[in-house]
Amino acid sequence: MGNKLKGRDLIKIGFPKNNSINIAIGQINRYRKREKKQKILDEAKEVLLHPEKFEGNAIWGKVAEGLIKPVEVRMHQLKNTRAPFSIYGEDEIDEQAKFQLYDALKLPIAVAGALMPDAHSGYGLPIGGVLATDNAVIPYGVGVDIGCRMCLTIYPIKASYLEGKRQQLENILKEHTQFGMYETHQKRMDHAIFEDPAFSDIPLLKRLKGKAYNQLGSSGGGNHFVEFGAVSIQDENNEWDLDIGEYMGLLSHSGSRGLGANIAKHYTYLATKQCPLPKQVQHLAWLDLNTHDGMEYWLAMNLAGEYAKACHDNIHERIGKLLGAKAIAKIENHHNFAWKEEVAGVERIVHRKGATPAAKGELGIIPGSMTAPGFIVRGLGNAGSLQSASHGAGRVHSRRACKNKFTGSDVKKQLKLHDVSLIGGGVDEAPMAYKDIQKVMNSQQELVEVIGTFTPKIVRMDK
């Protein structure tokens, strides 16, 4: 009967002549094409007879869904009116970022939105965009670098140590941090994250597990960093009972690496196929969380978020051992994620693309640039911002504009002025690329309160 399984083979065993055949062929070609044809047909027959038994199954769940309640594929139009929204620091935000939010607010699934003061234009949602939706998740509303994370460890070491041991600390970052697409640690460390059943249950994640293992404890390119700096605690009622004063800290910023990027690419493709939209908003295609793909993306997204945390844990564990110091405080938060949260008393899906969660009492770190201070903050739970704040200073110049506008000499002058050592890094991450962090913080005083600051002194970035 030939080795390659075709649609007519499925029709012969009783499959209806509808899209369930295309779905089945797609799943088989993607995940089972090396297996014997008869074995696959026997399984397909069982799915046809008892589809309810296969709901949620990694391979056959989507086929079962096509037999029981097919996903309705139809062109969606934008509404004429926007969902309610708030903008913070509006005068400092470019018009394109605002228009991207306005388009998102007209999606049929949009419930509410907000724009943070560090906002600038991106793909899908703007960076600094927050969007609450009704039981739907937008892969590009989450972003490519899923679960991108800030992590700050504070050590019981005086900040003056940064100057006295600068050379040794520079060497630690040079030799024990890895950046970009190809650098990995020679000595691998395991992590409980790889025992997560999603790595075996979801075929895409199964394929990506090796890459994730290799990249554990490494950081991405672009604006990702690991840096030593001076932590100034200013709130005597802080959560760690630390005395007001200055300490040495380690701050890292990175996400879910190739794992997150591949998840974003795969499920964005599926979303665009299932949710056709007008061209200007096609990046905002969504997955219904009641569908097989929607539920699977939600599991994959959460795994990517946990993996990003594992990478930071690994970085801080390695460096802590080299310092011979135990942490006295650790603060972390992530962006580029979606959460199930109550909005006006109803559970919604809240996307924060480049925005920090800032629920009442929730801790976070908002960095500036390689020469500007970052802020340790406590959320105020502002409903207008959907309990969010900025995730940084935000760019005022694009990467391309920086390369045309600034030189390496310009960057060196700024580094010298602020007494900062830089390992790696390019002109595209020049301090001048970013907005004034003080202005950004002034624009969100109703969103967060400041506990302390982190001032970078030794910065490691991708070459």
Q: Return the amino acid letter for 82.
A: R
What is the distance between the alpha carbons of residues 83 and 208, in angstroms, rounded to a whole number? 37
Alpha-carbon torsion, ordered 231, 311, 298, 120, to 10 deg: 50
**Which residues of the chain form CATH 3.90.1860.10?**
149-255+303-332+357-460
Half-sphere exposure of 456 (CA within 13 A, CB side): 30
Dihedral class, residue 219 (left if φ above 0, else alpha if ψ from -120 to 50, else beta): beta
Q: Return the amino acid letter for 109.
A: I
The Cα diameter of the chain in Å comes to 78
Kindly report the backbone phi and psi dihedral angles of residue 28, in degrees, each rounded to the nearest multiple of 5, phi listed first: -65, -45
Pick the CATH number of 149-255+303-332+357-460 from 3.30.230.10, 3.90.1860.10, 3.40.50.150, 3.30.2130.10: 3.90.1860.10
What is the distance between the alpha carbons of residues 123 and 101, in angstroms, rounded to a whole number? 11
Per DSSP, the three-state class of 16 is: coil
- Torsional sign, CA 442, 447, 450, 455: negative
pLDDT at site 2: 53
| Structural tokens at position 110 | 């949009």
Question: If you search the block for the tokens 């903008």, which residue do you land on?
Answer: 87
| Count of beta carbons in the 10 Å neighbourhood of residue 426 | 17
Task: Give me the residues paired with residue 350 across strands.
Answer: 132, 339
| Count of beta carbons in the 10 Å neighbourhood of residue 152 | 27
| Pick from 225, 214, 211: nearest CA to 177 | 225
Within 89-140, strands assigned E span 110-120, 127-133, 136-137
DSSP state of 191: -
| Pick from 453, 443, 447, 456: nearest CA to 378 | 447
pLDDT at site 186: 87
Judge whether 456 and 420 are in contact, CB under 8 Å. Answer: yes
| Pick from 357, 344, 419, 420: nearest CA to 389 | 357
> Digits of tens for pLDDT over the chain (463 positions)?
457 899 999 999 999 998 889 999 999 988 888 899 999 999 999 999 999 999 989 889 999 999 998 888 889 999 999 999 999 999 999 999 999 999 999 999 999 999 999 999 988 899 999 999 999 999 999 999 999 999 999 999 999 999 999 999 999 999 999 999 889 898 888 899 999 999 999 999 999 999 999 999 999 999 999 999 999 999 999 999 999 999 999 999 999 999 999 999 999 999 999 999 999 999 999 999 999 999 999 999 999 999 999 999 999 999 999 999 999 999 999 999 999 999 999 999 999 999 999 999 999 999 999 999 999 999 999 999 999 999 999 999 999 999 999 999 999 999 999 999 999 999 999 999 999 999 999 999 999 999 999 999 999 999 8
Spatial neighbors of 302 by CB under 8 A, at least 6 apart, are: none
Kindly report the backbone phi and psi dihedral angles of residue 329, in degrees, each rounded to the nearest multiple of 5, phi listed first: -160, 145
CA distances from 373 to 287, 326, 391, 439 (A): 38, 24, 13, 12
| Structural tokens at position 33 | 């094409």
The whole-model pTM stands at: 0.93
| Pick from 127, 143, 134: nearest CA to 304 | 143
